[in-house]
Amino acid sequence: PYYAPFNCHLVAKWGSSTNYQAVWESDAPVNFVDGTTGYFTILVAHDDTSYIVGRRVNQGQMLGQTGTYGIATGDHVHIEAKKGNYEGLVTNQQGNSMLKNSTHLYDLMGIDDTLILVSGGYNWIDYGTTPTPTPSPDTTPLSDNSVT
């Protein structure tokens, strides 16, 4: 499974049980590793969930299941991210849907106890040696369809 990095709600989803994709947006502005603050949108692929658009999930609660769809050697999840609210999708040269104005995860998020096996040459910020940023306040009330 993979878990919500912040309080969020499901803004879009599509696909099938073998290639499911979902877009989650933060309920409130969050702190990014570059020191800026704003809304955070992530697209995740490979889970098979029955969540409906509008579903709210608290930070640390399960968003979905990893999978082996695509060219993969093991269980994983694809994650795309962007600063700001969901603005729709674009199609890349390979025919894959991507978040419009997406940013690489290492520009937005850090890691704590996660072992990155293939870094792709990216400079991940490791909070094991860097002070953890102050959590963003969130006073957004949960809706009736929230996970408890």
Q: What is the pTM of this model?
A: 0.74
Q: How many whole angstroms separate alpha carbon 7 and alpha carbon 58?
A: 4
Mean pLDDT of the chain: 77
- Please state the rounded mean pLDDT for residues 46-67: 83
Q: What is the pLDDT of residue 142?
A: 39
- Is 50 exceeded by the pLDDT of residue 138? no
Strand partners, 45: 21, 78
- Please state the rounded mean pLDDT for residues 50-55: 87
Q: How many whole angstroms separate alpha carbon 20 and alpha carbon 1?
A: 14
Q: How many whole angstroms separate alpha carbon 59 and alpha carbon 108?
A: 16
Could you report the per-residue pLDDT of 90-131, keeping only the tens digit for each? 988 888 778 999 988 778 877 666 666 666 776 666 666 555
Q: What is the pLDDT of residue 67?
A: 76
Helix (H, G, I), strand (E, B) or coil at 8: strand
**Whole-angstrom Cα Rg for the chain:** 15
